[in-house]
Structure formats: structure tokens, C-alpha cells
Amino acid sequence: MALSPVHGEPALLAEEEKALIVADLHIGIEHEMFLAGAKIPGRTPELQARLLKLLGKTKARTLVIAGDLKHNIPRSSFLEEREIPRLMEALFEIAEEIHLVPGNHDGGISEFLPKDVKLHSNKGFVLGDYGVWHGHCWPSDEVMASRTVLMGHVHPQAAFVDGVETRAAERCWVRGKWNFREAHRKYTVLGEGFLMMPAFNSLCGGSHVNDLGQRKIGTVLRHNLADIERAEMVLLDGTNLGKVGDNLVKIGHRFQRK
């Protein structure tokens, strides 16, 4: 089954399944920013327009959200409870199916998620040759046995530091293989590897995967199942930056708790 990134967007197209796959929409993140003193205009209409455009452009009939559809935890904000049902209704005008693998921010979402949305286990589900899972917990055996595991949660970004210590970061895809020795301690059957998906919502921030001081996020990274240093970083415009281990930087100072 062919799987390809949509140029310039943090979205994948599974062609044979006619499925568009995204992760980390974080609907309602503006509410958290408002409480912290930042007045950010609502982003849901923009996210909705982008998703509708992508569904139309790719002619996908299925939309898969790999976790963190909403943002606020442990409770949901009024924005999420109001806007998510409206968003799903609008997306169903084009999409015939919508799947959600719940992420760590999606607690309680079943209470206001439209019943037509297929809500899976947080351990993920299999779509053709691919396992789809958020990334915050252990995936199922079936997901890990899939050809490639698609995961969100990390919000991967490539960090850049120039000669005068100017810092920048851009969202990227991270494509790699498993550390089979470590992974086989947890799973008997493994596929070829993984693909980390950048956050669809640009307000989310991200994890600088090539920063030496960046803490590891998610189960497979914390437990060294993913061979991250030999994984490739690819920007949304298709620029291949090469292996993570060949682009290591050190950003700022981090202190460890004793």
C-alpha cells in the first residue's frame, strides 16, 4: 500500500485506503493560552478549512486522527465541547469515515464525540499495512507487527543553530527503524519501523528530536525501542536533512532534578 506525505502539510495519504492521516490537532489550545495571558484567535475554523481542503485535494474518503484531537486535560473546555462536534459534522460532508485513536489529551472525549466517529483503543488500530497509534502508551501487538507504525505525540521538530547561536526549529517527519534487540524484549513480531508525524496544529510547539538535551517523550523513545539517531528527518517541504545523529545540536542548558 502506498503511503506518502502531502507536500507542505503535516498529513499523510494512504492511497489504496483513500485515507488522510493526521495527528495532534489540539482543539482548544487557545483556551489554555488565554488563561496564561495570551489572546489567540480561535484556530478551529482554520484547522477545519485545511482539513477540508486536504480531503478534497487528495480525494480521501477516510480521515484518521492519530490522537490528541482536543487539548485540555483533565477536563475539557467549553471550546472543545462546542467546536469538536461542529468540526466533525463539517468533515463528514466530505469524509465517509472518521477514525480517532485517543491520545493522552483525549480523556472524556467520548462524551461529546459524535457517534459516527469510530473511537479506537488507545493501543491503536491497523489500517492496511500500517499501525496507527498516538505514542503516549504501549501500542498493541498487532500495531507493532504492522509494516510501519505511524505515531503522533512527539510533535517532532528539527532544531537549527547557526554560528552566532541563533536558534530556529521546523516541523518534520522522523522515519526510522526499531532497535530490534530492545523491541523484542516487549514484542515478539515487529514490522520494518516507525514514522513520527508532526503536529497538525502549529501552536502546539514541539520536541527538537536532534537536540542532545531534549528529554525523550513517549514509551518507545523512553525505553529505547526506536533507533532515533539513525532515523531520517524530513521537512514538510520534502527536504531530507539526513540522520538525526548527523545533525545533533545542543540548545540551552537543562538541569536534572536530584
- Map grid coordinates 483503543 to a residue: 121
**Dist CA 53 CA 219 (whole Å):** 33
**Dist CA 28 CA 77 (whole Å):** 7
Percent of the chain with pLDDT over 70: 95
Stretch 60-71: mean pLDDT, rounded?
A: 96
- DSSP symbols for 12-54: EEETTTTEEEE----BTHHHHHHHTT------HHHHHHHHHHH
The model scores a pTM over 0.75: yes
Residues 3-246, CATH architecture: 4-Layer Sandwich (3.60)
Where helices occur in the chain by DSSP H, the ranges are 29-35, 44-58, 78-91, 141-144, 180-183, 219-222
Over 50: is that where the pLDDT of 253 sits? no
Radius of gyration of the chain (CA): 18
Name the band, by pLDDT with cuts 50, 70 and 90, for residue 214.
Answer: confident
Candidate from 59-63, 125-129, 163-167 with smallest mean pLDDT: 163-167
Name the band, by pLDDT with cuts 50, 70 and 90, for residue 255.
Answer: very low
pLDDT, tens only, 142-196: 999 999 999 999 999 999 987 777 788 999 999 999 999 999 999 999 999 999 9
φ and ψ of 56, to 5 deg: -70, -45
Report the SS3 class of residue 7: coil
* C-alpha atoms less than 13 angstroms from C-alpha of 17 in its C-beta half-sphere: 21
Q: What pLDDT is recorded for position 256?
A: 37
Q: What pLDDT is recorded for position 34?
A: 63
Query: C-alpha angle 172/118/171, rounded to 5°?
Result: 10
User: Residue ranges per domain, the chain?
Assistant: 3-246
Query: C-alpha angle 68/105/194, rounded to 5°?
Result: 50
**Dist CA 65 CA 234 (whole Å):** 21
Helices 78-91 and 44-58: crossing angle in degrees, nearest 10, is: 20
